[in-house]
Amino acid sequence: MSSYFDQFPCGVNYEAIGNGGWSACYRVQGGMAACNPSGNPKSQTLVKWNNGTAITNVTHINSVDDNNVVVVTDDGKAYFGNMNNVPSTPIVDSGAIASTGGKNPMCVLVKNGNKKDVLCGKTNLTRPALPADFDVMQLSAGYGLVCALNRQGEAWCWSDGGNFGGGLGTVVQNTPSKFPFSEPVIFIAAGQNGVCGIKQSGGAECKFSYYDNRFLPSANMDQLGVTPANFAPNVKAIQMAYGKGVFINKDGSAQYYPGPTTLNVGKAVAAGGDRAAITVVNENGDVYVVDGGTASLVSGQYKAEPARCSL
């Protein structure tokens, strides 16, 4: 496992677009960032400082709540604010790599010596009660739920203590605890209705909850049921959302759940977003919004680019 994660100095998701929030945000040409607002997800708007100028040194961005964002810049700082009004006072002063967030809470992946760590909150960020030697390889957040993946392929998850936390009941506690995957995982995806991991041996393993009468990927799963062993055998990335999800396969094909329905987006490289819609980016930088198994090209002038690793 360690040799696998050595390939990713900024964590396995640093190239992905932001994976939480009710809108979807991503890095675009020129070191800027754009978002598809939750109220109008088929449009595109640039992310701006509170003086009205575009932020031009973005390495990673993630949406939080409705139209808030966490912006990570190339000097290792992280900022929090509305996508059209980001205050210039950082919430992380140095070492920031990437961020994640859903409705609540929001977390930032940071460099801590020879390891990567996590800070969570809004303006006063603190470290969750993870083991002291936890080396964070990936973060994923859903509605009230966060999971952190360590170098050993263990996913540790925690809830904000509300009625959310993936609706997973006692499986996810307020205090971080190891999630019961059957084997080590190399990728995690947290959503309002459960947690999915990509197993070291290949394929996905998911645990879903019966929350608000919604399931993913299908409506006949048992509560906290584990998907069959051959589920999505070629998957390389997953984006879960409110009762739906997108699985990206190794060949770049993208499938929408419930279904699955194959999406007409070309060769997909990343997916993000949450309740409003899921956004998929292809290898050409084209941005699509997925709604009900249909992918629509976003009406915006900016092509998406991978996030940058500033280490």
Domain at 79, CATH number: 2.130.10.30
Q: What angle do CA 141, 2, 15 make, to 5 degrees?
A: 45
pLDDT of 132: 93
pLDDT of the residue at 174: 77
Q: Count up the domains in the chain and report the number.
A: 1
Among 244, 237, 240, 272, CA closest to 258? 244
Q: How far is CA 232 from the centre of its chain?
A: 19
| Listed residue (107, 183, 187) closest to 145, CA to CA | 107
Per-residue pLDDT at 235: 94
Amino acid 211: pLDDT: 54
Q: Is residue 307 part of a domain?
A: no
Whether this model's pTM surpasses 0.85 = yes
Residue 147 lies in a domain: yes
The number of helices, as runs of H, and strands, as runs of E, in the chain is 1, 24
Residues shown for the chain: 311
Can you give the pLDDT at residue 219?
39
Name the stretches of the chain with pLDDT < 50.
Answer: 163, 165-166, 213, 218-225
In a domain, 13, yes or no: yes
CA 21 to chain centre: 9
285: its two tokens: 């930088």
Identify whether 261 is part of a domain: yes
Cα 205 vs. chain centroid, distance in angstroms? 17
Domain enclosing residue 193, as ranges = 2-297
Write out pLDDT tens, residues 201-227: 999 888 776 555 455 554 344 444 455
Q: How far apart are CA 190 and CA 245, in angstroms?
A: 10
Residue 167: predicted pLDDT: 54
Does a structural domain hold residue 254?
Answer: yes
Position 67 in a domain: yes
- Decide: 214 and 221 in contact? Cβ < 8 Å: no
One-letter amino acid at 124 equals: N
In a domain? residue 183: yes
Which phi and psi (to 5°) does residue 148 adopt?
Answer: -120, 135
303: in domain = no
Q: How many CB atoms lie within 10 A of CB 293?
A: 15
What is the distance between the alpha carbons of residues 308 and 305, in angstroms, rounded to a whole number? 9
| CB proximity list for 241: less than 8 A, separation 6 or greater | 142, 191, 192, 273, 274, 275, 277, 278
Q: In angstroms, how far apart are the furthest CA atoms of the chain?
A: 52
